[in-house]
Amino acid sequence: MIHFVLLISRQGKVRLTKWYSAYPQKERTKVIREISGEVLSRGPKLCNFVEWRGLKVVYRRYASLYFCMCINQDDNELEVLEIIHHYVETLDRYFGSVCELDLIFNFHKAYYILDELLLAGELQESSKKTVARLIAGQDALVETAKEEANSISNIIAQASK
Amino acid sequence: MAGSSIMETLFQRTLEDLIKGMRLQLIGESAFISKAMEEIRREIKSTDLHTKSIALQKLTYLNSLHAADMSWAAFHAVECMSSSRFAEKRVGYVAASQSFNESTPVLLLITNQLRKDLTSVNEYEASLALECLAKIGTVDLARDLTPEIFTLLSSSKVFVRKKSIGVTMRLFEKYPDAVRVCFKRLVENLESSDPQSLSATVGVFCELAAKDPPSYLPLAPEFYRILVDSKNNWVLIKVLKIFAKLAPLEPRLAKKVVEPICEHMRRTGAKSLMFECVRTVVGSLSEYESAVKLAVAKIREFLLEDDPNLKYLGLHALSIVPPKHLWAVLENKEVVIKSLSDEDANIKLESLGLVMAMVSESSIVEISRVLVNYALKSDPEFCNEILGSLLSTCSRNFYEIVVDFDWYVSLLGEMSRTPHCQKGEEIESQLIDVGMRVRDARPELVRVARSLLIDPALLGNPFLHRVLSAAAWVSGEYVEFSLNPFELAEALIQPRASLLPNSIRAVYLQSVLKILVFSVNSYLSQTETLADLEPGVQASQMENSEASDLASVRAPIESEHDEAFNPGVLDRPSADISVEDIGTVADGDGQTSKFVSFRKNGFTRESIVNLLNLVEVAMRPLSGSLEVEILERACNILGLIEVLKREMPAQFQSEMVLEKEELEVLELIKLMDDAFSEELGPVSTSAQDRVPIPDGLVLKDNLADLDEIMGDVKLPSSNSFSLESPYYAERMDPASSNVQSKEDSEASNESTSLLAEHRKRHGLYYLPSEGNGTISNDYPPANDLKSGETTNQDDPEDFVRLTAQSLVSKKKPNYAKPRPVVVKLDEGELVLAVPKKQDSRDDLLSGAVRDILLGDDAVKLSSSIKGKEKVNMDPLDSKENMHDMEHSRHRKSSSRRSKQRPHRKERGQTSPEKLGMEKEEHGGKVKSKSSHRHGRQKSRQKAEGSSDVIVQTPVIPDFLL
C-alpha cells in the first residue's frame, strides 16, 4: 500500500502532502525533510527508487516538481510509477497542461483529485475519464452552492439576521 | 454580532488570497503564518458556516504544507462536516481526515454524521464519508458503521461501491468481527463485472493476504479465474502478489498457476506486469525450472536496458533468486560487475549484494581483490559498504568460506589501510577473533599487526584506532611468533601513540608488558639452558618449567616433533623474512630454521638492557598520567623493570654466570610468562549459563563479613602480582624485597598445589580441561577447546594432519595447505531465531476470515465450482491422504444435502466411526453452518467463537485443482 504522497518542488518547497498511514504531526515534518533531502539530491539519470527506513520511496520528476510516493518493500515499483503518471495525467486533463502554479493556487483541487484516485493507500480509479467526470460533478455541486451564497438576496438575508 | 459576521464574510480572505499573500509576503514566512493563524482563529468562531469553512480550509492548507497545528480545530471540522452544503461539508471532511487521529476526543461525535452521510442519496456525500472513514476509522467507528458499509458493498452505484470496498480494509483491521458480516459480499465482488470494483476488491485481498496468507487459500479458485481471464494489468499485478503468498503454501496450487504466469510473462508488453511475474516466479515458484529460466531471460532483458529503473529492478530480482539457482546470477556476472561502477548508488548497492552472493571458497580471493580495488576508487560511503559486506561475508558462519587465513589476515590489514575505511570496529573484532580461533593464522597475524603498529601515519586516523588496538593486543598476546619483539615494543611506545584515546593506550601498555616479560623470560631461560650443558638436564628442565625458549608454551609441538614441525609451521615465517626484509633477523644456521635461531641468539644481554631502558624512559612520564588505566599499567611496568634491574645485576654483567639467587628472578618471570601465555579462547555468550549452580551456593549474599574470616589469609593471586606495584617495591630495601620475592614464589607454588587440591576435590565445579590442567598453575581456558593441540600432542590425528601439511606444502605452496582449524563453540553462538509472533488483532482477523471461508463460505464456493471439482476428484483420490478426502466429501455431500434438506439433524450421526479430531472439526463446521443459517436474519450474532475448532487444521481445499 501507499503510505504517503508528497509533492515537493525542486527548491524543497512542499506542494502537497497526503498521509495514508498514521504519522503524528512532528513525525510528518521529519519525514518530509528526510525524503526531500534524499530525493532532491539525486541526479537526473538515476533510477527512481530510494530505500528509506525499510520502505521504498518511488519518485518521478515532472518539470520542477517531484512526485513521491512511499510504498512497502514488496510493492511493485513500476506500478507506482504508473500511478504517479496517472495522477499527473489526470491533473493535466483537469487543469489543461498543468504547471506548478496551478497546483500552488489550487492546492485543494489537487487534493480532491488525489482522493478520487487513491483510497486507503490503494488505487481506486484507473480511468482518467471517470475521475474527470466525478470531479466535474463535485465542482458543479460546489458552484451551485456558491452562487446561492453569493446572491444578493442571501447577503441581505444574512445581514438582516 | 451580525455586523461583524457579515463584515467577516465580505472581507474574509479566501484560500487563494492566503496563498497569494504567502508568495508576496515581505515579513517572513513564519511571521506571515502566525498572522494568518490569528485571523483564522477569529474567523473560525464565526456562526456563519461559510466563513467557518473557509477558515478551516485555510487552516488545513497551512497544516498540510507548513505544519501548522490544527488539532485545536477538531470541533470546527465536525461542525463543517454537518453542514448541508456540499462545499462546506467537503472542507470539513478533508480537515477531519487530515488531522484526526485515534485520540481525537470529538471522534465520538461524528458517528451519526458519518452514518447519515453514508446512507445519503447523494453519492458524493457518501464518498466523502467513505474517504474519511478509510483514514480515521477507529474501533468504535468500525463497529458502529459496519452495517452501513455492508449495505454499500452491494450498492448499485459503482462509484460508491468501489470506495466501500476500499474501506473494508480499514474496517477489518480495526474490527475483525466485521469480517463475519462483510466478507461474503466482498468475495462476491470478486466476480463483479465492473473493473473498478474488481480492482478494489483484489487490492483489499492483496493487503489481507500479505498479513496472513493461509486464511485465503480457499479463495484460490476465484483468484485463479481472475489470473486467467483478466486483461487489466492493475488487477493482474495484485493477483500475482496474492499468488506469490499462496503458492508456497500449497504445491498443487503452485503447479496450477505457473503456466498462466509464464503465459503473461511471454505475452505482456507492460514492464510492471512483467516484473511482477518475474518476481513471483523467482520468489515463490523457484522449483519450476522452465519458469525460472524464462524469468531469468526476462531479467536479462531488464539488465540490458538503458533505463536505470529496469536495471535496478533486474538486479533486485536477481538478488531474490534463491541460492539454488545461483547460475542465474553467474550468467549475468559481467553486467553485475559492471554495475558496481554505475553512477547510481542504489544500483551499486544491489550489485554489491549480488557480487557477495557469488562468493565461494574458490572465488573469494579473486573477488576480494577486485572489491578492495573498487573500494579504493569509490566514494567514502560506498567504500565502506564494500568493506562492510566483505567483512560480513567472510566472517559468516565462522569464516566458512575462508581457506587461506594468511591471506585473510593480510586482507584485513589491507582493508584498514583503505583511505576511507570506517570499519575499524569490525576489523578489530575480526583480528582478535581470528587470533583466538585460528591457531595457524597467528604468525601472519602478528606480522600484519606489526606492519600496522609500526606505521606512525596510521595513528593520526581516528577511524583506525580500534584496529590499532586489536593489533596491539595481537602483538602482545602472540609475541612468541614475532620475529623481532624489540621492534614491536618500540612501535608500541612510540611518541605518536599519545594520539590514541586512553582506553586504547592502555591496551598498548599491557602489550608492552607482555612483550617485556616474554623477552626477558626468553633471555633468561636461554642463558639458563646454556649454563647447563648436559642435554639430559636441559630436557628435564624444559619439561619442568614448561616455558622454554623456542617452542614456548604455545607453540604446538615439542622438541620431539621438530622434523614435522619445522617445514610446516616455521617455514612460513622464514619465507616472510625474505619477503619482508626485516633488518634484524639473525643468520640461520643449518637445518634449524631462522626463526628458531633468532630466538636462540636474538636476546643478547645488551638488547635486553636496551629494551628495559627504552621502556623505562617511555613509561616515566606515563606514571603521572591522570587516566587510571594508563597510570596503573605504566607503574606496573616500571615496577617490574625496577625489580629486574635490581635483581640481576650479575646477570647483566656476565651472561654465563648463573648464581643461586638469580633463580628467583627467573622464577618470577617464568610465572608471569606462564600467566600471559595461557591461551585465551573464544567464549560463547551462553557459557556462563552452562555452568550449573552448585547446591547450597547463595549467589546473592552480601560478602561484607567475608573480610573477618579472611582477614589473616593472604590471597595468593594478589600476592603474586603485588611485585609489579612500584609503591610496594619502592618501600622495601633490596634485601627485604629479595626475601619477599622468594616468599612470593613459594606462595604461588603453594597456591598452585592448593588449587590443584581444590580442583581434585571439587572437580565437578571446574570446567573440563585437558589432562595437564591440574599441573599448571592457571585456570583452564574459558571453554573446552576442541583443537587444543598444545596439550594433547600425542593425538595421532594432529600428527597426521601436520605431516600431511608439510608434505603437500612442498608440492604446491600456494593452495595445498588444508584449511586450518577454526575453533567453534559447539552450539552456544547460534543466534536464536525467535519466531515472529503475530499480534492478536491479526489473529482475530485471520481467525474470523478462516471461520467464514472454511465454515459456511466454503460450502457456497465449493458448490459454485462443483463442476471443476468433479473433474478432478478421481486423480485426487489416489494421491491425497485420507484427511483431505474426507473433507472434500463432507463438503460436497453437505453442500448437496443442504440444498435438499435444510433441517438436517442426522449429520452428526453419519460419522460416529470417525476419529475424534475429525469429528470435532466436523462439529465445528456444523455449528458455524447453522449459525450462518441464523445469520441470515441476525448477521451480527453469527460468530460464537467456533473459530478455535476450525482454525486448528487449515483445510486445504481440493477444489484448487
State residue B4's pLDDT score. Answer: 53
* Whether the predicted pLDDT of A8 surpasses 60: yes
pLDDT digits (tens, 9 = 90+) for B60-79: 888 888 888 888 888 888 88
State residue A160's pLDDT score. Answer: 66
pLDDT digits (tens, 9 = 90+) for B463-476: 888 888 888 888 88
- Cell matching residue B825: 563453540
Average pLDDT, integer, range A13-27: 86
Nearest to A49 among B234, B275, B346 (CB): B346
**Angle B223-B226-B229 from CA coordinates, rounded to 5°:** 150
Percentage of chain B exceeding pLDDT 90 = 0
> Which residues of chain A does B15 touch, with a Cβ-Cβ cutoff of 8 Å?
107-108
State residue B453's pLDDT score. Answer: 85
pLDDT digits (tens, 9 = 90+) for B669-695: 777 777 777 777 667 667 777 777 777
User: Per the confidence metrics, is the pTM higher than 0.80?
Assistant: no
Is there a single domain that holds both residue B558 and residue B654? yes
Is there a single domain that holds both residue B773 and residue B802? no
- Cβ–Cβ gap A122/B166 under 8 Å: yes
**Helix H or strand E segment including B577:** helix B571-580
| Helical residues (DSSP H) of chain A, grouped into ranges | 25-40, 77-95, 100-105, 107-117, 128-150, 152-159
Nearest to B309 among A22, A47, A123 (CB): A47
**More confident position, B361 or B170:** B170
Is there a single domain that holds both residue B772 and residue B792? no
ipTM of predicted complex: 0.90
Average pLDDT, integer, range B744-759: 54
Lowest mean pLDDT among A35-44, A112-121, B842-851: B842-851
Is there a single domain that holds both residue B599 and residue B721? no
Is there a single domain that holds both residue B732 and residue B797? no
State residue B480's pLDDT score. Answer: 81
> Which residues of chain A does B234 touch, with a Cβ-Cβ cutoff of 8 Å?
79, 123, 126
- Cβ–Cβ gap A161/B2 under 8 Å: yes
Which residues, including other chains, have CB under 8 Å from residue A149's CB and lie 6 or more apart? B50, B85
State residue B469's pLDDT score. Answer: 87
Nearest to A107 among B19, B199, B271 (CB): B19
pLDDT band at A105 (very low <50, low <70, confident <90, very high): confident
pLDDT digits (tens, 9 = 90+) for B540-565: 444 444 333 433 433 343 333 433 33
Is there a single domain that holds both residue B548 and residue B627? yes
Q: Mutate which of A13, A79, A129, A151 to disrupt the B interface (most B C-beta within 10 Å)?
A: A79
Lowest mean pLDDT among B6-20, B591-605, B799-813: B799-813
The alpha carbon of B83 is separated from its chain's Cα centroid by a whole number of angstroms, namely 54
Is there a single domain that holds both residue B514 and residue B662? yes
Q: Give, rounded to a whole angstrom, the gap between the first and last alpha carbons of chain B.
A: 74
Lowest mean pLDDT among B174-178, B699-703, B782-786: B782-786
Is there a single domain that holds both residue B712 and residue B670? no
**Nearest residue in chain B measured CA to CA from A158:** B6
Query: Could you give phi then psi for residue A3, rounded to 5 degrees?
Result: -85, -40
pLDDT band at B27 (very low <50, low <70, confident <90, very high): confident
State residue B561's pLDDT score. Answer: 40
* Whether the predicted pLDDT of B388 surpasses 80: yes
**Helix H or strand E segment including B539:** helix B535-545
The winner for highest mean pLDDT among A29-33, B154-158, B748-752, B849-853 is A29-33
State residue B735's pLDDT score. Answer: 42
Is there a single domain that holds both residue B539 and residue B601? yes
* B514 within domain boundaries: yes
pLDDT digits (tens, 9 = 90+) for B277-291: 888 888 888 888 888
B146 in Cβ contact with B182 (< 8 Å): yes
Nearest to A25 among B2, B48, B69 (CB): B69
- Cβ–Cβ gap A145/B57 under 8 Å: no
**More confident position, B753 or B150:** B150
* B803 within domain boundaries: yes
Given B663, B678, B693, the domain boundary residue is B678
Q: Does B850 touch chain A (CB under 8 A)?
A: no
Q: Give, rounded to a whole angstrom, the gap between the first and last alpha carbons of chain A.
A: 50
How far CA B175 is from CA of B140, B747, B775, in Å, comes to 8, 76, 71
* Whether the predicted pLDDT of A121 surpasses 60: yes
* Closest chain B C-alpha to A98 CA, distance in angstroms: 17
Is there a single domain that holds both residue B719 and residue B650? no
* B190 within domain boundaries: no
Nearest to A119 among B5, B50, B134 (CB): B134
pLDDT band at B823 (very low <50, low <70, confident <90, very high): low
* B536 within domain boundaries: yes
pLDDT digits (tens, 9 = 90+) for B891-930: 444 444 444 444 444 444 444 444 344 444 444 443 444 4
**More confident position, B434 or B806:** B434
- Cell matching residue B852: 467464514
* Whether the predicted pLDDT of B207 surpasses 80: yes
Q: Mutate which of A119, A127, A131, A153 to disrupt the B interface (most B C-beta within 10 Å)?
A: A119
Average pLDDT over chain A reads 84
Domain holding B559, by residue range, is 483-678
* Whether the predicted pLDDT of B756 surpasses 70: no
**More confident position, B888 or B323:** B323
Nearest to A108 among B15, B88, B134 (CB): B15
> Which residues of chain A does B308 touch, with a Cβ-Cβ cutoff of 8 Å?
45-48
* B41 within domain boundaries: no
Nearest to B166 among A15, A120, A159 (CB): A120
> Which residues of chain A does B65 touch, with a Cβ-Cβ cutoff of 8 Å?
14-17, 107
Percentage of chain B exceeding pLDDT 70 = 62
State residue B8's pLDDT score. Answer: 60
B:71-100 residues touching chain A, CB 8 A cutoff: 71, 85-88, 90, 94, 98
> Which residues of chain B does A111 touch, with a Cβ-Cβ cutoff of 8 Å?
64, 94
pLDDT digits (tens, 9 = 90+) for B624-671: 778 888 888 888 888 888 887 776 655 555 444 445 455 666 777 777
Average pLDDT over chain B reads 69
- Cβ–Cβ gap B203/A48 under 8 Å: no
State residue B922's pLDDT score. Answer: 44
Nearest to B312 among A43, A47, A137 (CB): A47
Region of residue B396 (phi > 0: left; psi between -120 and 50: alpha; otherwise: beta): beta
User: Distance between CA B694 and CA B683 in Å, rounded?
Assistant: 21
State residue B541's pLDDT score. Answer: 42
- Cβ–Cβ gap A76/B272 under 8 Å: yes
Q: How many helices and strands (H and E) does chain B possess? A: 49, 0
How many domains would you assign to chain B?
3
> Which residues of chain A does B312 touch, with a Cβ-Cβ cutoff of 8 Å?
47, 49
pLDDT band at B16 (very low <50, low <70, confident <90, very high): confident
State residue B598's pLDDT score. Answer: 44
* B554 within domain boundaries: yes
- Cβ–Cβ gap A78/B313 under 8 Å: yes
Is there a single domain that holds both residue B569 and residue B658? yes
* B492 within domain boundaries: yes
Lowest mean pLDDT among A97-101, A116-120, B477-481, B832-836: B832-836
State residue B301's pLDDT score. Answer: 85
**Nearest residue in chain B measured CA to CA from A50:** B346
How far CA B285 is from CA of B76, B218, B348, in Å, comes to 54, 19, 27
Average pLDDT, integer, range B311-336: 81
> Which residues of chain B does A122 touch, with a Cβ-Cβ cutoff of 8 Å?
166, 169, 200, 203-204, 207
Q: Does B23 touch chain A (CB under 8 A)?
A: yes
- Cell matching residue B372: 578492495
> Which residues of chain A does B100 touch, with a Cβ-Cβ cutoff of 8 Å?
none
* B835 within domain boundaries: no
Exposed/middle/buried for residue B238 (C-beta within 10 Å: 0-12, 13-18, 19+): buried
Is there a single domain that holds both residue B663 and residue B797? no
**Nearest residue in chain A measured CA to CA from B204:** A122
**Nearest residue in chain A measured CA to CA from B162:** A124
